[in-house]
Copies of this chain bind each other. A is one copy, B any other.
Amino acid sequence: MKLSELARQIDGVFTGDGAVDIRGVAGIREAGNGEVSFIANPRYAPEAATTKASAVIVAEDWAAACPATLIRVKNPDEAFAKAAAIFYIPAPVPVTGVHPSAVVAQDAELGAGVCIGPLCVIESGAKIGAGTVISAQCYIGFRSVIGDKSFLHPQVSLREFVKIGSRSIIHNGTVIGSDGFGYSVDGEGVRTKIPQIGIVEVGDDVEIGANVTIDRARFGTTKIGNGVKIDNLVQIAHNVVVGDHAVIVSQVGISGSTTIGSKTILAGQAGISGHLRIGSGVIIGPGAGVSKDIPDGLHVLGAPAMPVDKMKRTHANIMLLPKMRERIAALDARIRKLEEGGQSKV
């Protein structure tokens, strides 16, 4: 597509050669010849000077140097999203029906318009809601139930009795309903498995990333509320309850029986101990280690986690330690002088 045509479609004004052929979109650092990029976050503004993009979408008041042809727009973020959509070729819509290579139990219930991909296994008593897509090589366990219009990417595993709501998305390699990590231990330190006979229940409009693990409850239910968003490689232990619209970033671990309030955000690699009650609207910073309850609305950081103000002061205090040591040495010298002065008076 000619740059001039692209500019027209995204309501932008270009300065330079409108005849350049644009074939795709890319980030400002990696864009090359024939690609259009954008600057929305001021953080990336310095990158404009050295970009190899053929065109860059910028705000109307952009003033810095850039070797690429500029397309000025009201909202660079939105305009770039439009440009990306123009060049996007979607993957084909999955074909409705059961692929002949899938192994589907006779008594599984499949709703209207369901897609069961190649080499899936659907066990006895499973129910798949209308319009739901089970992509290739998934495993749906005994009496597991999925709502309508949900989408499982390839190689997802649901163990028995797992419930997934409607319009939920689960990415490749994720395991839901594996046994909780529960053992009784004898006097010799030898552990015996405690049967994990509960279930997992995932709400509506949930998205779960790739290679996530969510354990079934020891008894009762491990519960993921409606609208929750879970990133890749997250671990959610037995009997955890995650409130509606919570956000769990990648590699977070939540230990057994902890409750996470609604709309709470857990940043990447945070670790939460067991049996805690984390409030609603809480923000837990990246890599934080949480071993105590957190009330609603608090923002915590660090390991052990503490309120963000306290954490910042504490860190600042630590970084001032060299000065404190100097100050103590100076006091010492002044005292010595006083002491000597005193002695000299004697």
Q: Which residues of A contact B (CB under 8 A)?
A: 24-27, 29-31, 35, 37, 41, 43-44, 80-81, 84-85, 88-92, 99, 101, 103, 117-119, 121, 124, 136-137, 139, 141-143, 153-155, 157, 159-161, 169, 171-173, 175, 178-179, 181, 183, 189-191, 193, 195, 197-198, 207, 209-213, 215, 217-221, 223, 227, 229, 231-233, 235, 237, 239, 241, 245, 247, 249-251, 253, 255, 257, 259, 262-263, 268-269, 271, 273, 275, 281, 286-287, 289, 291, 303-304, 313-315, 317-322, 324-325, 327-328, 331-332, 334-335, 338-339, 341-342
Contacts and interface: CB of A to CB of B under 8 A. Distances in A.
Contacts of A139: 136-137, 154-155, 172
A324 B323 CA distance: 12
Given A26-B220, A84-B220, 17 more contacts: A26-B221, A81-B219, A84-B198, A89-B143, A119-B119, A121-B154, A157-B210, A191-B227, A213-B250, A215-B232, A269-B289, A287-B303, A313-B322, A321-B321, A327-B328, A331-B332, A335-B338
A320 to B, nearest CB: 8
Please give the count of copies of this chain that the complex contains: 3
Contact of A232 (B220, B235, B315): B235
24 contacts: A27-B219, A44-B275, A80-B219, A84-B219, A91-B159, A91-B161, A103-B118, A103-B136, A119-B137, A153-B159, A155-B155, A171-B179, A173-B213, A175-B232, A178-B232, A181-B250, A190-B227, A213-B232, A213-B233, A268-B271, A304-B315, A318-B318, A324-B324, A338-B339
B229 A191 contact: yes
Given A119-B103, A271-B269, A178 B157 contact: no
Contacts of A80: 219
Contact of A223 (B30, B181, B287): B30
A217 B80 CA distance: 14
A101 B122 CA distance: 13
Given A119-B121, A273-B286, A229 B181 contact: yes
Contacts of A154: 121, 139, 141, 157
A181 B239 contact: no
